Amino acid sequence: MTVFVVMAAILDRELQERAVFSIGRVDCETIIRSGVGDTAALANESLTAPLNAEMMEQEPGFR
């Protein structure tokens, strides 16, 4: 079993315990794969994006 299948099974069980039956394991796996893919894309984008020092200086608490 892949990590995605295991995570989907856990999510499916959690949803069923909350009486959410309209989403099945296949849908749960798709949601998890999408979330992981989106997170990986954002991480990659943040690593390749140029540093914007001016924007950082505007952040609250920036020293």
CA–CA dist 56, 54 (Å, integer): 5
Token output for 52: 């914007």
CA–CA dist 5, 50 (Å, integer): 36
pLDDT digits (tens, 9 = 90+) for 5-57: 888 888 888 888 888 878 887 888 888 888 888 777 777 776 776 666 665 56
How many angstroms from the chain centroid is the CA of residue 19? 23
CA–CA dist 3, 31 (Å, integer): 13
pLDDT digits (tens, 9 = 90+) for 45-57: 767 766 666 655 6
- DSSP letter, residue 18: T
- Amino acid of residue 23: I
